[in-house]
Amino acid sequence: MKIAYDAKRAFANRRGLGNYSRDVIRLMLHYAPQNEYLLFGKPSPLCPAGDAQVVQPQGVWQYCPSLWRSFGCLNEMDGIDIYHGLSGELPFGIHRLPLKTVVTMHDAIFMRYPELYSAGYRRMFARKVQYACDHADLIIAISEQTKQDMMTYFHADESKIRVVYQGCNNRFREPVTEEKLARVKEQYSLPEHYVLTVGAIEPRKNLSGLIEAMSAAHIDLPLVAVGSQNTYAAQLAQLARTKGVDLRYLHSLPFEDLPAVYKLAEVFCYPSLFEGFGIPILESMCIGTPVVTSTGSCFAETGGEAALYADPLQPVQIGEQLTRVLTDKSLRNRMIAQGHLQADTFADERVAANLISVYNTLKE
């Protein structure tokens, strides 16, 4: 088969959508090398193409790459069997071409929490997602929660939705050497013991709730937050000072050092209000750090019985669960062991097999 991917996020995005896109490309190149792969987008070192062919805008399209991605790239699709939109959209008009289409849907957070997004953003993405739901031959939902959201908000046809869980980068499954741990601890001046959270510094991720939780539970450990610097981060720093929480940011942490930062933490807390999957939960379980996360949304799908859960809007509950992990050694050890087992359900071989099954369905 000749399979094309919308690789914009793979080439340009360092967060969840980019990680997902790079993983799909990596898995298919490794587990199904007999296929021919094309990556649509402007190449970058973030995503080495390997044996795949890169298709990028040429001529006048170089000056309007967004329009090329939205419909101009249709002129480059001769001979393609399957086009896979990896981040919730397909080029407009692709349903008229003689090929099959797949689209991966990650979430409908912009519909569920409209107050977090501008009206223009919501209109643009609602139009793109609706077109993709209407015209894709198959829809991949990264969780049962996302499947339900696509049906609720975009009236997607349930019969063409396949839930295919994602995995995470294999670096989180590899042992972290003592030398690496010592180097990372010294380089970033990490404390001996700390609570860790990882994710964008934005209201939905609920770092404010975690600060309130640690204050309410009198958890006398530093809180290390990995995420990009912005004005909201400064507001949270002020909140932490007011609440007596020692908040320390790691704003520009290289990806290769992230597994060690997870490993050095006493507990990982992911108190987000809503996600499509929650990759940091999986990353933490792979590395062997206990996880406290939120009730509702997709979190139990990712964390299973290995994590502890709390209402993200109830800081006292979050604090109680953190305290349990920090004070009960047998519970901690049990969560680490269960976490490794849970993480195995999202191993490369399983994710790749499910993706290949989707493609083979379209080939029939």
When pLDDT is cut at 50, 70 and 90, the band that residue 6 belongs to is: very high
Task: Tell me the pLDDT band of 363, cut-offs 50, 70 and 90.
Answer: confident
Residue 293 has a pLDDT of 98
- What confidence tier does 83 reach under pLDDT thresholds 50, 70, 90? very high
Task: Give the confidence band of 295 by pLDDT, cuts at 50, 70, 90.
Answer: very high
Equal fold, 2-167+347-363 vs 171-344 = yes
* Number of residues that this document lists for the chain: 364
Q: How far apart are CA 49 and CA 290, in angstroms?
A: 35
pLDDT score of 157: 97
Instruction: Give the pLDDT score at 252.
Output: 86
- CA distances to 123, 219, 267 from 323, rounded to whole Å, are 43, 7, 10
Which fold does the domain 171-344 belong to in CATH? Answer: Rossmann fold (3.40.50)
CA distance 238 to 261: 24
Task: Decide: residue 311, CB within 10 A, 0-12 exposed, 13-18 middle, 19+ buried.
Answer: middle
What pTM, to 2 d.p., does this model score? 0.89
Using DSSP's 3-state secondary structure scheme, residue 156 falls into coil
Q: Kindly report the three-state secondary structure assignment for every residue of 7-71.
A: CHHHHHCCCHHHHHHHHHHHHHHHHCCCCEEEEECCCCCCCCCCCCEEECCCHHHHHCHHHHHHC
- Closest among 302, 301, 320 to 310, alpha carbons compared: 320
Work out the pLDDT band at 339, boundaries 50, 70, 90: very high
Mean pLDDT of 307-316: 97
Give the CATH number of domain 2-167+347-363; options: 3.40.50.300, 3.40.50.2000, 3.90.470.10, 3.40.50.970: 3.40.50.2000
pLDDT value at residue 93: 96
Residue 82 has a pLDDT of 98
User: Is the confidence at residue 115, as pLDDT, over 80?
Assistant: yes
Structural domain boundaries in the chain: 2-167+347-363, 171-344
Average pLDDT, the chain: 95
Q: Would you say residue 14 has pLDDT above 90?
A: no
What one-character DSSP code corresponds to residue 94? G
Q: What is the pLDDT of residues 53-79, one digit of tens each?
A: 999 999 899 899 999 999 999 999 999
pLDDT of residue 116: 81
CB-CB neighbours of 138 under 10 Å = 19
Cα-to-chain-centroid distance, residue 254: 17
Work out the average pLDDT over 336-354.
96
Asked if the model's pLDDT at residue 16 lies above 90, the reply is no
